[in-house]
Amino acid sequence: MLCRETLKINQAGHLEIGGCDTVDLAKQYGTPLYVMDEAYIRNVCAGYTATLDSVYPDYKVCYASKAFSTKAIYTIMREEGLGADVVSGCELKTALAGGMDADSIYFHGNNKLPEELAEAVKAGVHAVVIDSFYEMTLLNEIAAQKNKRQSVMVRVNPGIDAHTHHFVQTSRVDSKFGFSIADGTAQKAIETIGTFENLSFIGIHCHIGSQIFELKPFELAVEKMTDFMVALGKVGIPVAELNMGGGYGVTYTEEDKPLEPRQYAEAIAKKVKACCAEKNLLEPHLVLEPGRSIVGEAGITLYTVGAIKEIKDIKKYIAVDGGMFENPRYALYRSKYDAVLANRMSDSAEETVTVAGKCCESGDMLIEDIRLPKAQSGDLLAILTTGAYHYSMAGHYNRNPIPPVVLVRDGRSDYMVKPESYERIMELDTYPVWIKKR
Ligand code: LLP
């Protein structure tokens, strides 16, 4: 279950992460608490870069920062030689504030706002990844106003649905993202970009899905993308960059059997090489955008067990001090997780319980039916694999503060994101002039 090197059981029988006792972390920082393991994050990054250095040296790994975006994570990514994929004005701003070079940033999104495009052009991002005809016109105008020529890629839909067992046959044409290769829109989009004076087409991008375990859908996507490069070559359009997105799976429960993150990168890079050789294409600059696989398993969330309620012969709930405001993934996707009683790691599982959140909503669960030692109020519960799409998807439902994030490394811990006070949440509240404050 604790299949990560950085998670250990210490002599006190407590869960340890990055050399820090989770019971001490809970005492020092309170709960709920997101904890991120720096060594794990850096190891995954180093695995990607070492693998690609040897297999396909003309590459860039861009961290998909929607998974977890804070200033310090961009600093770490930059130190590890990664770039970043951002999808909003504030992700861009955070990336720049965290020291990411603009030239290592790709700006994505299916409906980027005019202000966001203006910020991207002003910052000088490496590429804006165009996702609609509307966006081309808008971006061209913005670039023209700034007297700049903006490099762009085009998000294409290669028609592979990686989320079915039949991904080979299935083609998702109903996606809100990208231009379809199959119906000719993608080529039309790229030809249209050629008519804009202030846009410069550099390559194509696809992202076929997330939490994918098999290599096959990625390899199929490479086939389709390189076929498309051939088609573009025939009309005289060179493709300098090929961005294959992210999507590599991680372990949430023992049902999940992902490969090592670097193995996905290796397989994709090798497939690109093979396809280019076979189709007589110049090898493009290869970009990969992993998010979840870098930070997912690096994170755990610590909770204090509060109310325990048994509905006789039906169900036992243990409620914790978190919930859908800090982890909406069960409510949204019925996501599954593994958890442990972090203060009692030597005790064996005795009962099946459902971990409930504290929000006023029946669907506010974190884990349904998990085997745990008999929990008592005050116990420390750790949910594993919460580093990706947790903090970044958190909200203030019921006016709950979003928990702080602590980074751990070699027995040290410190804030990456500080705690939110009630005052901070109320800070932007104001009174319309006709409402009189009492
Ligand atoms: N590149 C693009 C263009 C993407 O849209 C995404 C994820 C990634 C890269 C990174 O994918 P990853 O390596 O993290 O799988 N909120 C969902 C996940 C949504 C992913 C959206 N796009 C969740 O909590 O599972």
Q: Where is average pLDDT lowest: 167-171, 326-330, 374-378, 409-413?
A: 167-171
**Pocket of ligand 1 contains residue 301 by CB under 6 Å:** no
What pLDDT is attached to residue 172? 61
pLDDT in tens, 310-347: 999 999 999 999 999 999 999 999 999 999 999 999 99
What pLDDT is attached to residue 179? 95
User: Within 13 A of 334's CA, how many CA atoms are on the CB side?
Assistant: 1
**Pocket of ligand 1 contains residue 32 by CB under 6 Å:** no
**Pocket of ligand 1 contains residue 290 by CB under 6 Å:** yes
Ligand 1 geometric centre to CA of 66 (Å): 7
Q: Tell which one of 207, 256, 287, 390 to mutate to probe ligand 1, the residue whose CB is within 8 A of the most ligand atoms.
A: 207
- pLDDT score of 272 more than 50: yes
Over residues 390-408, the mean pLDDT reads 98
Q: How confident is the model at residue 173 (pLDDT cuts 50, 70, 90)?
A: low
- pLDDT score of 7 more than 70: yes
Ligand 1 geometric centre to CA of 276 (Å): 27
Cβ neighbours of residue 228 under 8 Å, at least 6 residues apart?
156, 158, 181, 186, 187, 204
State the Cα torsion 41-45-48-54 to the nearest 10°. -140
**Pocket of ligand 1 contains residue 329 by CB under 6 Å:** yes
Ligand 1 geometric centre to CA of 370 (Å): 27
Helix axes 133-145, 185-193, angle to 10 degrees: 10
State the Cα torsion 397-302-252-217 to the nearest 10°. 60
pLDDT in tens, 119-165: 999 999 999 999 999 999 999 999 999 999 999 999 999 998 777 55
- pLDDT score of 170 more than 90: no
Which residues are annotated as catalytic? 360
Cβ neighbours of residue 431 under 8 Å, at least 6 residues apart?
437
Cβ neighbours of residue 6 under 8 Å, at least 6 residues apart?
17, 18, 37, 39, 40, 298
- Written as one letter, the residue type at 379 is D
Tell the residue nearest (CA) to atom 16 of ligand 1.
389
pTM score, whole prediction: 0.96
Tell the residue nearest (CA) to atom 5 of ligand 1.
207
What pLDDT is attached to residue 174? 74
pLDDT in tens, 368-380: 999 999 999 999 9
> What b-and-e string marks burial along 378-402, b requiring 16 or more CB atoms within 10 Å of the CB?
ebbbbbbbbbbbbbbbbeebeebbb
Ligand 1 geometric centre to CA of 67 (Å): 7
Q: How many whole angstroms separate alpha carbon 148 and alpha carbon 234?
A: 29
Ligand 1 geometric centre to CA of 212 (Å): 11
| Average pLDDT in the chain | 95
> Which atom of ligand 1 is nearest the CA belonging to 292?
14
Strand-pairing partners, residue 20, are: 17
**Pocket of ligand 1 contains residue 292 by CB under 6 Å:** yes
Could you tell me the two tokens for 144?
A: 């023209």
Tell the residue nearest (CA) to atom 8 of ligand 1.
246
**Pocket of ligand 1 contains residue 41 by CB under 6 Å:** no
Q: Where is average pLDDT lowest: 119-123, 163-167, 168-172, 300-304?
A: 168-172
Tell the residue nearest (CA) to atom 23 of ligand 1.
389
